[in-house]
Structure 1
Amino acid sequence: MPTPLSGRSCPSEQEPHRHREMAESFGEDAERYDRARPRYPAALVERIASEADAVLDAGCGTGIAARQLQAAGCRVLGVEPDARMAERARRSGVEVDVAAFEAWDPAGRVFDAVVAAQAWHWIDPAAGAAKAAQALRPGGRLAAFWNVPRLPAELTEAFAEVYRRVAPDAPFTFPATTEQALEGHRRIIGTAADAIRETGRFGEPEEWCFDWEWTYTRDAWLDQMLTHGALTRLPPDKSAEVLEHVGTAVDAMGGSFAVPYATVTITAVRTGAA
């Protein structure tokens, strides 16, 4: 999927949290989002759960990460601004407060960990870090993480070709390599790390990375494509054209393919007194 790259400035690259209309489109089909979006590696979930009982999931969406943490033994409260996504999470057994994380009131509640799965870039980095510090106990952990797919070149090229045709003015560039895709996320992580430092309430941020792999069928890949802002905001005829073109590329690859993922994480521990 498209990733902002260096050399071309656009609003979504510089301050994605100011352009939440894209994120707000995800709730239009919360069931598809919950079904199709990739999960998170067990090693990451276990690492967080090993030091946390009570977890706050900022921007919890439909509760994908929250359910994984619950299965690992954590008590999880989600905070989600989209009521449609929150309702889907509740139906799967996740308690959710409907609010933008920056405006959410902890109301005296304190957590061992604050996590954000594929969501921290939609949160104002300075306000989000300050809110996380407010909600964490001393020694508690903030961990924001993203799944970065290492897509086959055939797939990236097919998507870029058709998307430029149907949406030539879209504010995206297209990574030609895994390194370029990771670079886009490193900029997001760098911004998050700077904001965490500026609170003065965390130890030095560190990065984690977990490698894992998932195999997609043609239908499963096209299903998850429809959960990304690049397609949710296109007219139906245009998104259908993109799906047909990419589907043809998957057919040429044998109808299924493996995607190596790198789940990149920025994390820091809350310091000081409560």
Structure 2
Amino acid sequence: MPTIEPHQFRQVAESFGVDAERYDRTRPSYPAATVERIVAASPGRDVLDVGAGTGIAARQFVAAGCTVLGVEPDARMAGFARRGGLEVEVSTFEDWDPGDRRFDTVVAGQAWHWVDPDAGAAAAARVLRPGGRLAVFWNAFQPQPEAAEAFAAVYRRVLPESLAAAGFTAAAPAGGPYSVLCDKAADGIRASAAFDEPERWRFEWDVTYTRDAWLDQVPTFGGHTQLPPPALAEVLDGIGAAIDDLGGGFAAHYTTVVVTAARPAAAGRELESSMS
């Protein structure tokens, strides 16, 4: 039976706008060092943000002095970002028409797994200026062991077939399931034959969640956005009780994982010449 890749789950990929305000309020941003390193490694400050969502990453690049255009398939998420002052066009990246626009950097925060990795890398190469950079990144979450075990038990009981039922493990390696997504992103970049060899960067950081803060974020997770209300309520009740047993909060470690590659300057000039 063929494997269904994340980008083929369009109903999930385009479901996050069901509560865009909650998504924007609760989802974590990215370490400043991540944004700074991407900007420093790029030839300029014109940024295309793929899967821009509500603009969490885009706002960070704007704050770093960049001009940002977002591409986002969910009109509700795009609308939220626009209300915050960002320029966003509604489309999947694979189907988006850039016209003659070119960028110094193409980024995707917590979104590249919703893009076909081969088609996405090829599309990024077409819109990058000579020497431009593609940088895709995710926040990989790992709660303290006691919380990981308690959350996994809730999902095994309520949603035994879900990814979360297996995903919360105290022994999970740093990066967890995102390691697989990084591999797929790197393979897509190589398959395009349009970039230098991809690099991987890592940024480590920690946070402590209160019960209310975590329960506010849970409904925004992939798959949770489409749960029937009774099932979501049961998940939230179980996780809330688990956090109460932990004293009302828990510590979590994040690894921001980045896959990035530069477009060779000579190849970029050849591409632009062929299109003129």
Report the TM-score when normalising by structure 1. Answer: 0.91
Match of 1:73 in 2: 65
* 1:243 Cα deviation after fit: 0.8
Displacement after TM superposition at 1:200 (Å): 1.3
Q: Contact (CA 8 Å) 2:46, 2:68: kept in 1 or not? A: yes
3-state SS in 2 of match to 1:112: strand
- Equivalences for residues 23-62 of structure 1 within 5 A: 23-50=13-40, 51=42, 52-62=44-54
Structure 1 stretches of 5 or more lacking a match? 1-8
Aligned Cα root-mean-square deviation (Å) = 1.7
Q: Which moved more, 1:112-121 or 1:23-32?
A: 23-32
Q: Retained in 2: the 8 A contact 1:154–1:249?
A: no
Residue 10 to residue 167, structure 1, CA distance change in 2 (3 Å): farther
8 Å CA contact retained: 1:151, 1:178: no
- Aligned pairs for 1:57-206 within 5 A: 57-170=49-162, 173-177=166-170, 179-180=172-173, 182-206=175-199
Give the AA of the match of 1:21. Answer: Q
Which amino acid letter does the alignment assign opposite residue 107 of structure 2?
A: V
Q: Give deviations 1:35-55, integer Å, cap 9, x for gaps.
A: 000110000011122333100
Contact 2:189–2:198, Cα closer than 8 Å, also in 1: yes
* Structure 2 stretches lacking a partner, 5+ long: none
CA distance in 2, matches of 1:234, 1:157: 22
Farther-moved stretch of structure 1 (52-61 vs 230-239) = 230-239
Letter in 1 for 2:8: R
Deviation per CA, 1:215-270: give whole Å up to 9, x if none.
22111101111100232222111111111111122122222233221000100001
Stretch deviating more after TM superposition (256-265 or 89-98): 256-265
Conserved 8 A contact 2:147-2:246: no
Instruction: Work out the CA distance in 2 between the residues paired with 1:82 and 1:188.
Output: 22
Contact in 1 for aligned 2:202/2:258 (Cα 8 Å): yes
- Residue among 205, 212, 217 paired with 1:212: 205
Q: 1:160 to 1:183 in 2, by over 3 A?
A: closer
